[in-house]
Structure 1
């Protein structure tokens, strides 16, 4: 069900084709919030259009369609955003590995934590670069609060907390930097 809201939110940031939405997913949501493949996205676009939550605003070559959110879509998105979140199902392979790390020898566990630390640092750097670019885009109607900027900051802070945890864990494992 959340795919529908992810698509509506992406279209709230401006009209887009299915391909452009797929790229927006890959750049902004997929790695940090929600995963959707192109094969999931196109049927959802059809359902959203049937429900009157989006509309085709342009048709181009080879059946390319550009979609925009409707007022009804904005109202549905707004209602969902303001409603309490449902309990989430967690499926985080990295967290599972860390929960089971005691099955490894100390040196192996240190290596797993170092990889986790390096990944957190890379994600933080990537998000900081994206945030800097978003902050510099004063042409966007929402300026610094454009789509995803607040979520980027959440990701930056989470990755920083993960890096700090990795330092702590390495210290406990006797392999601190």
Structure 2
């Protein structure tokens, strides 16, 4: 197998290995629980990344037995820690927003008013659901019982961003629903509320 180029997902896995050794299954669960909220990646790729890190000499694999079943556990090497530190020296790229719900809202004139309201309601429900786990994690770290309490300072920074993001989506959904409720039955005939449009401009000029 050739040594593939390291990707951002490679470094994400390397960062998790810097916390503690993991099996591939544990890495996948940890990605879903924590990093998956802001760096979602397909599980199939996550099963390949640790092997790539081993090929690069950034991680090492050991075989352990759980009962009669063997499992491979990956741990970071000294070279891996140096490579992770080098990657952290670069500020990285900004967020990439991907939302099928926003895409549908942007073409709402080709559907019905009910369609638009249902999509907006789904966006609010998504934010509320995602924030339930976020609240639980924040309370756990506040109370000194987070899964990696020694990393509370770092997790607080990311948690604060996610908190504002989920809250923003929920607040936007409430506002957007109010706007669409005032639309005529045919969304293609909708016109913007000029006062609200002016408010959007003022907020954009921050």
Question: Normalising by the residue count of structure 2, what TM-score does the alignment of the two structures yield?
Answer: 0.72
C-alpha displacement of 1:160:
0.2
Say yes or no: does 1:23 pair with 2:29: yes
Instruction: Tell me, in whole angstroms, the C-alpha distance in 2 between the residues paired with 1:85 and 1:172.
Output: 37
Structure with max Cα Rg: 2
Say yes or no: does 1:51 pair with 2:51: no
C-alpha displacement of 1:107:
2.6
Instruction: Tell me, in whole angstroms, the C-alpha distance in 1 between the residues paired with 2:146 and 2:94.
Output: 36
Instruction: Tell me, in whole angstroms, the C-alpha distance in 1 between the residues paired with 2:156 and 2:29.
Output: 17
Q: Superposition pairs for residues 132-143 of structure 1, below 5 Å?
A: 132-135=139-142, 136-137=144-145, 140=148, 142-143=150-151
C-alpha displacement of 1:116:
0.9
Q: Is the 1:25–1:36 contact (alpha carbons within 8 Å) kept by the matching residues of 2?
A: no
Cα distance per residue 1:118-176 (max 9 Å; x no partner): 11111112211122223332784625225x4432322121010001111111111127x
In the other structure, the counterpart of 1:99 is: 106
Which consecutive aligned stretches of 4+ in structure 1 deviate over 3 angstroms post-superposition?
86-92, 138-141
Say yes or no: does 1:72 pair with 2:79: yes
Q: Is the 2:63–2:70 contact (alpha carbons within 8 Å) kept by the matching residues of 1?
A: no
Partner of 2:41: helix, strand, or coil? Answer: coil
- Structure 1: give runs of 5+ residues left out of the alignment: none
Q: Is the 1:54–1:67 contact (alpha carbons within 8 Å) kept by the matching residues of 2?
A: yes
Question: Which residue, 53, 60, 66 being the options, matches 2:65?
Answer: 60
C-alpha displacement of 1:99:
2.4
Pair 1:71–1:26, CA change in 2 (3 A): same
Question: Normalising by the residue count of structure 1, what TM-score does the alignment of the two structures yield?
Answer: 0.83
- Structure 2: give runs of 5+ residues left out of the alignment: 1-6, 183-206
Q: In the comparison of the two structures, how many residue pairs are matched?
A: 173
Partner of 1:52: helix, strand, or coil? Answer: coil
In the other structure, the counterpart of 1:118 is: 125
Instruction: Tell me, in whole angstroms, the C-alpha distance in 2 between the residues paired with 1:6 and 1:154.
Output: 18
Range moving further from structure 2, 126-135 or 92-101:
92-101
